[in-house]
Amino acid sequence: MTEPALEQNLDEREDIPTHVDLNAEFEESGVKDVLADLDRELIGLAPVKKRIRETAALLMVERARRRMGLANETPTLHMSFTGNPGTGKTTVALRMADLLHRLGYIRKGHLVSVTRDDLVGQYIGHTAPKTKEILKKAMGGVLFIDEAYYLYRQENERDYGQEAIEILLQVMENQRDDLVVILAGYADRMDRFFSSNPGFRSRIAHHIDFPDYTDEELLRISEKMLEEQNYHLDAEAEGMMADYVRARRTQPHFANARSIRNALDRARLRQANRLFENALGPLDAETLSTISAEDISASRVFSIAVKNAEKQAR
């Protein structure tokens, strides 16, 4: 080895740290803030938050190992989020994008959320340009594909989803240093999707299951949603909302927090109409901000529950 090359090699060795303080790295990276935001934004989901913390710890250690010359390749970061609608998958994906950016695993930290319609064309020659355009937008960040199993339709031989899948697989492998893909959907359908597309399963390193919310958690979510819009439930409405949650959970198309948000939107609509019809004079802020039991009880969820109970009693 020549003398200049030897000096350069020695300089490079001097730049490599011999020790890393992971706690200090945790504070300086901002990951602590991301995890705090996740706790603040999402009620419940303890298993999900635990997995996110574990993943963050793994990535921090991997980053430290790379700085010390112990790791050469970027770890596989593609993920699968499984669970029912309204369980916070998109919110967690947003926070994951922020976390990966702060740790230096992606350049931009943005999230591009898409479904099959954004990737697959209806005619020959349309799918590749659509898929490549989405991938171009997502580069440097996270691509979140909701209901990813709709990309593959085995029953339709003329479906163009397979073309999108092949392009995605190639990019997930060849450009994994610049793009993280998160596939999301129902657990059973995602299992069938991975069975039909083993190339995806082999590229997914992190599988996170999102449980349904409990009744108590859904009530807390409803209170939080109302609080964010400067509304609140009166005492009687709180009990009626608890009854609503129990009844709604047993009916079709229940979507956890999404169903609660829809219910509160309709309750606010009923409250507004009630105030217009009954107002005899100026209204104060408390009246304008209070959701009453009658605003909840008018939901057809209760009439459906009664009909279902009558059917079971026959």
Domain spans in the chain, listed from the N-terminal domain onward: 3-209, 215-313
Query: What's the pTM value of the predicted model, to 2 decimals?
Result: 0.86
pLDDT at 6: 45
Cross-strand bridge partners of residue 238: none
Q: Phi/psi of residue 271, each to 5°?
A: -60, -45
Query: Using CA atoms, how far apart are residues 283 and 275, in angstroms rounded to an integer?
Result: 9
- With bands split at pLDDT 50, 70 and 90, how would you rate the model's confidence at 160? confident
Q: Do domains 3-209 and 215-313 have the same CATH topology?
A: no
* Six-digit token string for 297: 């009880």
pLDDT in tens, 250-301: 999 999 999 999 999 999 999 999 999 987 789 999 999 999 999 999 999 9
Confidence of residue 29 (pLDDT cuts 50, 70, 90): confident
- Rounded average pLDDT over 30-34: 88
Q: Quick one: pLDDT at residue 4?
A: 55
How does pLDDT run across 169-185, given as a tens digit for each residue? 999 999 988 999 999 99
Q: What's the per-residue H, E or C state across 172-238?
A: HHHCCCCCEEEEEECHHHHHHHHHHCHHHHHHCCEEEEECCCCHHHHHHHHHHHHHHCCCEECHHHH
Span of 9-13, 99-103, 178-182 with lowest mean pLDDT: 9-13
- pLDDT per position as a tens digit, 33-88: 989 988 988 999 999 999 999 999 888 888 888 888 886 677 889 999 999 999 99
Does domain 215-313 fall into CATH 1.10.8.60? yes
What is the structure's pLDDT at 217? 97
Q: Which fold has domain 3-209?
A: Rossmann fold (3.40.50)
**Cα gap 93→264, rounded to integer Å:** 25
